[in-house]
Amino acid sequence: MRQRFTFLVFLYLFFLYGCRSGDSERSKITVHIHYAYGFKVVLEAIPFSGEMDKLVDSATIKTGDDIIYFYLPSNEERAYVLRVDRTNFQMVFISDAKDITIEINNVILPNQYKVYGSKATNSVHDFLNAQSNRMGDIRKKNSGIDSLRRSGADARLIDSLKKLSDGDLKDFFQRYVKFEDTVSSPGAFLYLYNNVDYENDFAGLKDFMLRNAKRFPDNKQIQKLKDETLDYLKIFEEEYNVGDVLPELVLPDRMGIKFSTYSLKGKFVFIDFWSTWCEACMQYDKEKEKAKKIFAPEKFEIVSIALDAEKEAWKNYLQQKKYDWPQLIDEKMWNGPTLKAYKIDSIPFNFLVAPDGRVLAKAIKPDSVVAVISKNIK
């Protein structure tokens, strides 16, 4: 009997301290919220790299002056958003500490909260507030330049002010890079990464990603981001030229049926890349229609590939135009299979492909489409 009692005591202590130990490894978020009776507080993980929105937990305020405890599902630093249903209130915090307290004074007014215990969160908020003020100053300057232009001010003065404004904007984005290079929190780095803009400086972006991946060698998300960035940059380091053979690309057509570009081997094929939001792409519409009428269908075909996240807008546009050639869509756009396969970095873009799959011409201008095709089809 005594042995059984000792065993039960052991089990109780094991589960008691085991559960406490598990909670101690996760971050505890204490939310003290005032004047919010009946409102629902929702905690979500900010999605990263293709993730879906992640609901972590929620709670309903019962007294109007409650203290809520949330436990995060992982001890890996990342950004979370705390929002209150039926209001515009939401705030982002970084899980860089085991015990973080958020005090919300008013869910109706913005920025009426304080964060205790998270250096990364307060650092990010201070930086973003400063950036917001800088952008406000830039917009005021640009508004002043527009006013001078409308009033007929001297062109040299306007050009001089525009250069200063462009310099301010460049400095604005450079500050994101400098801040990212100095943060010690991987969660803060991931949250602000999408604000880093190297424009066409692909070597600079590569160096930025490699040095920061080196700073956070144990963070899985940053290492994944590094790999994805390097894969993306390969698109710009390599390209298909005249004489190269394009790989197969399989995408859904307007009926959702998978279509392979290799199914058209044996024909000359004009492959063009466009989107419903790309005005420059529309300049090719009449030229494609003209080419489709001129060249024999047994020798020539067109394949239009839309890089477009708005599938319904794409379908509506096609219904209006009534094109009679294959229309495909890549809803993942710049993160989809089209860029990886064909290594294009902008739209509109196009290839003219020979019956054996070789590239005959690329980046053909709208007014040259029919002429270039005629030159190649004998």
Q: Express each pLDDT in 4-60 by its tens digit.
A: 444 444 444 444 444 444 445 678 999 999 888 888 999 999 988 767 668 899 999
Please count the other Cβ atoms lying within 10 Å of the Cβ belonging to residue 133: 10
Cβ distance 106 to 35 under 8 Å?
Answer: yes
Confidence of residue 107 (pLDDT cuts 50, 70, 90): confident
Q: What is the average per-residue pLDDT within 361-366?
A: 94
Residues of the chain with CATH 3.40.30.10: 250-376
Residues of the chain with CATH 2.60.40.180: 25-117
* pTM of this structure: 0.66
Q: Which two tokens stand for residue 106?
A: 């008013």
Would you state the pLDDT for residue 24?
Answer: 54
User: DSSP per residue over 303-358, as a string?
Assistant: EEEEE-S-HHHHHHHHHHH---S-EEEETTGGGSHHHHHH---SSSEEEEE-TTSB
Radius of gyration of the chain (CA): 28
Q: Which two tokens stand for residue 359?
A: 């590239």
User: DSSP per residue over 255-267, as a string?
Assistant: TS-EEEGGGGTTS
In three-state secondary structure terms, 57 is strand
In three-state secondary structure terms, 94 is strand
Please count the other Cβ atoms lying within 10 Å of the Cβ belonging to residue 339: 21
CATH number attached to the domain at 250-376 = 3.40.30.10
Q: Express each pLDDT in 298-356 by its tens digit.
A: 999 999 999 998 899 999 999 998 899 999 999 988 878 998 889 887 899 999 999 99
d(C-alpha 150, C-alpha 160), whole Å:
16
Please check the confidence at residue 109 and state whether its pLDDT lies above 80.
no
Q: Express each pLDDT in 146-199 by its tens digit.
A: 898 889 888 898 899 889 988 998 999 999 999 999 999 999 999 999 889 887
- CATH architecture entry for 25-117: Sandwich (2.60)
Q: How far from each other are the two terminal CA atoms of the chain, in whole angstroms?
A: 99
